[in-house]
Each structure stands twice: as C-alpha cells, then as structure tokens.
Amino acid sequence: MSRLVFVLNGPNLNLLGKRQPHIYGHETLADVEAECRTLAAELRLDIAFRQSNREYEIIDWIHEARETAVGIVINPAAFTHTSVAILDALNAFEGPVIEVHISNVHKREAFRHHSYVSLRADGVIAGLGTQGYLLGLQRIARLTADEPA
Ligand code: DQA
C-alpha cells in the first residue's frame, strides 16, 4: 500500500528561482516538485506537493493531511517565524513532520532564528538548499516504514 506524504510550501516560494537567487538558488519550485516526485517513486511514497501564500490554506491542508497522509515535509517560509496557527495545526497531526529551509536561517537575520514550527517538528533541515526536501522525504519514508530506524 502506498503512503501519502504532504510537501507543503509557504509564501513567496512560488517565486523560487527568480527571488533572491543568491540565497535560494536558481531552481524553480516546479524543479523541486519534479525531484521530489522522482525520489518519492523510488521510496514508494505518493506526494501531494503544494504551495500557498495564504496561511489559512496551509492550515486547511494540514487538517486534510490528518485524514490522508502519513507524514508532512513543510517549508513554512516566513510563516515559520510568525504562525502559532500553523504550529497548532501541526500539533493536531499525528505523523512525522520535517521542517525544511532552503537557506541557513541561523546565518541570517535574528528574526529568522526563531521557529514556531520547530516546537513540533521531528526534524529540521536548514541550509542544504533544495536537497533538504529530498532528505525530508527520506526521513519520512524511514520513520513510517514497517520497522523504523
Ligand atoms: C525559508 C527561510 C525563511 O526565513 C524565509 O522567510 C523564506 C524561505 C527558506 O527556505 O530558507 O521564505 O523558509
């Protein structure tokens, strides 16, 4: 039976590849989705890959994941640093949650050093570029396997 993982992206990530490429690189979000789909097939995971600039939509997707998904990989983008509501939604999700940041947020402005989402995340990946998404998927695959390591 295949397992569904939600890969959720927050505000401005629709501009990936065009927005501050010296920080976020040249790959687009469509490129990242394609890479995630290739890896997910190898890991025998299904993925729902989504992006929104609206906080409520991300919250609704996390609620949807409660019913359908085994895990969540999330790059909440700027909502990382502001959203108690996304934290609360993730706290209502039972499976593993991996938080991903393309840039190393700890090397940047002080306001990026705090993450509400990290209070819930089982793992946090920052500064590994878009590879972080792939590592997040691998971790979810392992944590949701029959015999997790
Ligand atoms: C980000 C880091 C956040 O601080 C920022 O607001 C983003 C992207 C990252 O992937 O590095 O939009 O989550």
Q: Is the CB of 115 under 6 A from ligand 1?
A: no
Measured in Å, residue 46 CA sits from the centre of ligand 1 at 25
Residues shown for the chain: 149
What is the structure's pLDDT at 146? 80
Q: What is the mean pLDDT of residues 103-131?
A: 97
pLDDT at 147 (0 to 100): 67
CA max distance for the chain? 44
Name the catalytic one among 24, 63, 114, 116.
24
Structure-block tokens of residue 134 = 């792939």
Residue 69 structure tokens: 């998904």
**Tell me: the pLDDT tens digits for 5-42?**
999 999 999 999 999 999 998 999 999 999 999 999 99
In angstroms, rounded to a whole number, what is the distance separating the alpha carbons of residues 4 and 38? 14
Model confidence at 97, pLDDT cuts 50, 70, 90, reads very high
**Dihedral pair phi/psi, residue 73, rounded to 5°:** -105, 125
Domain boundaries, the chain: 4-143
Measured from the Cβ of residue 98, the count of other Cβ atoms closer than 10 Å reads: 25
What pTM, to 2 d.p., does this model score?
0.96
What is 4-143's CATH number?
A: 3.40.50.9100
133 catalytic per annotation: no
